[in-house]
Structure 1
Amino acid sequence: MRKKPNRIGLLSIALLVSLNIAGLAASRPNILLIMADDQAKQALSCYGNTDIQTPGLDRLSEGGMRFEHALTPNSFCTPARAAVLTGKYSHKNGVTRLNQPFNGSQQTFPKLLQAGGYQTALFGKWHLLTQPTGFDHYCVMKMQGMPVNPVVYEPQHQWIAWSPKDRKSAFKGGRKIEGYNNDVMTTEALSWLKKERDPSKPFCMLLHPKPPHAPYQPPKKYEDFLKDVMIPEPATLLDDYEGRTPAAIKDIMNANRIVLMPPYAKLRKQLEKENPSITEDELTRAIYQEYIKGYYRLVKSVDDNVARVLDYLDESGLAKNTLVIFTSDQGFSLGEHGFYNKQWMYEPSLHQPLLVRYPSSILAGSVHESMVNHVDLAPTLLDFAGLAIPGDLQGCSLKPILEGKADKVREVSYYHFYDHGERLPEMVGVRTDRYKIIHYPGMTKPYQWELFDLKKDPDEIQNLYTNPEYRELMERMKLELRKQIEALADPVHLPALK
Structure 2
Amino acid sequence: MASLRLLIFACVTIFLDSCNSSKNVLFIISDDLRPELGCYYEAGSQIHPGIDTPNINSLASKSLLLKRAYVQQAVCGPSRTSLLTGRRPSTTRVYDLETYWRDAAGDFTTLPQYFKENGYTTVGMGKIFHPGSASGFDDPISWTEDYYEAEVKFESKKKSWDSISDRKISNTGKLLQDQNITEHALSLLEEYASSNTNFFMAVGFHKPHLPFVSPEWAYGPYPEDEILDVSNPFAPSNMPEIAWFKYGDVRGYSDIALYGATGDINTTLPDEATRDLRRAYYSAVSYIDDLVGQLVDKTVELGIDQDTVIVFLGDHGFALGEHGLWSKNTNFEVATHAPLLIHVPGQTDAGIVSESLVEFVDVFPTVVEAAGLATVERCEDGSSESTPLCHEGTSLMPLVSAPDTKLKLSAFSQYPRQTDIMGYSIRTDQFRYTEWVQFDYTTNTPDWTVNSGTELYDHDIDPEENYNVHGDSSYAEAEEILQTILHNGWRDSIIL
| TM norm. shorter chain > 0.5 | yes
Instruction: Select the structure of larger CA radius of gyration.
Output: 1
After superposition, residues 89-100 of structure 1 pair within 5 angstroms as: 89-100=88-99
Matched residue SS, 2:356: strand
Change (3 A) 1:149 1:187: farther
User: Aligned equivalents of 2:53 and 2:341: distance in 1?
Assistant: 13
Q: 2:214 aligns with which of 193, 213, 218?
A: 218
Change (3 A) 1:240 1:82: closer
Matched residue SS, 2:393: coil
Supply the AA of the counterpart residue of 1:397: S
Supply the AA of the counterpart residue of 1:324: I
Change (3 A) 1:180 1:474: same
Q: Does residue 374 of structure 1 match 2:367?
A: no
> Residue 37 of structure 1: CA displacement?
0.5
User: Aligned equivalents of 2:375 and 2:259: distance in 1?
Assistant: 59
Which position in structure 2 is the counterpart of 1:112? Answer: 114
Supply the AA of the counterpart residue of 1:376: D
Stretch of structure 1 that moved more, 42-51 or 351-360 = 42-51
Q: Verify the 8 A CA contact 2:423 2:434 in the aligned structure 1.
A: yes
Which position in structure 2 is the counterpart of 1:156? Answer: none
Q: CA RMSD in A?
A: 3.4
Q: Verify the 8 A CA contact 2:78 2:97 in the aligned structure 1.
A: yes
Matched residue SS, 2:258: helix
TM norm structure 2: 0.79
> Residue 134 of structure 1: CA displacement?
2.1
User: Aligned equivalents of 1:205 and 1:408: distance in 2?
Assistant: 31
User: Aligned equivalents of 1:97 and 1:267: distance in 2?
Assistant: 25
User: Aligned equivalents of 2:149 and 2:205: distance in 1?
Assistant: 10
Which position in structure 2 is the counterpart of 1:242? Answer: 237
Q: Does residue 430 of structure 1 match 2:426?
A: yes
Which position in structure 2 is the counterpart of 1:347? Answer: 333
> Residue 369 of structure 1: CA displacement?
0.3
Change (3 A) 1:405 1:291: closer
Matched residue SS, 2:287: helix
User: Aligned equivalents of 1:281 and 1:106: distance in 2?
Assistant: 42
User: Aligned equivalents of 1:436 and 1:222: distance in 2?
Assistant: 35
Q: Does residue 417 of structure 1 match 2:403?
A: no
Which position in structure 1 is the counterpart of 2:29? Answer: 35
User: Aligned equivalents of 2:74 and 2:418: distance in 1?
Assistant: 12
Q: Verify the 8 A CA contact 1:26 1:321 in the aligned structure 2.
A: no
Q: Verify the 8 A CA contact 1:212 1:298 in the aligned structure 2.
A: yes
User: Aligned equivalents of 2:12 and 2:41: distance in 1?
Assistant: 44
User: Aligned equivalents of 1:149 and 1:255: distance in 2?
Assistant: 18
User: Aligned equivalents of 2:119 and 2:452: distance in 1?
Assistant: 51
Q: 2:283 aligns with which of 267, 277, 297?
A: 297
Matched residue SS, 2:327: coil
Q: Verify the 8 A CA contact 1:25 1:202 in the aligned structure 2.
A: no
Which position in structure 1 is the counterpart of 2:246? Answer: 253
After superposition, residues 123-162 of structure 1 pair within 5 angstroms as: 123-125=125-127, 126-129=129-132, 130-131=136-137, 132=139, 133-141=141-149, 146=152, 148=154
Which position in structure 2 is the counterpart of 1:157? Answer: none
User: Aligned equivalents of 1:388 and 1:39: distance in 2?
Assistant: 29
Which position in structure 1 is the counterpart of 2:374? Answer: 387
User: Aligned equivalents of 1:195 and 1:321: distance in 2?
Assistant: 15
Supply the AA of the counterpart residue of 2:116: Q
Q: Matched residue pairs, number?
A: 438
Q: Kindly, what percent of the aligned residue pairs are identical?
A: 22
Supply the AA of the counterpart residue of 1:62: S
> Residue 371 of structure 1: CA displacement?
0.6
Matched residue SS, 1:84: helix
Matched residue SS, 2:231: coil
Change (3 A) 1:442 1:43: farther
Stretch of structure 1 that moved more, 200-209 or 441-450 = 441-450
Change (3 A) 1:38 1:420: farther
Q: Verify the 8 A CA contact 2:182 2:291 in the aligned structure 1.
A: yes
Supply the AA of the counterpart residue of 1:66: L
Q: 2:180 aligns with which of 184, 205, 222?
A: 184
Deviations 1:400-452, CA, capped at 9 Å, x for gaps: 11233771321111112122569xx6311212111121112269999601111
Q: Verify the 8 A CA contact 2:247 2:326 in the aligned structure 1.
A: no
Matched residue SS, 1:426: strand
User: Aligned equivalents of 2:475 and 2:360: distance in 1?
Assistant: 30
Change (3 A) 1:271 1:464: closer
> Residue 386 of structure 1: CA displacement?
3.0
Q: 1:449 aligns with which of 454, 459, 480?
A: 454
User: Aligned equivalents of 1:270 and 1:338: distance in 2?
Assistant: 14
User: Aligned equivalents of 1:230 and 1:271: distance in 2?
Assistant: 26
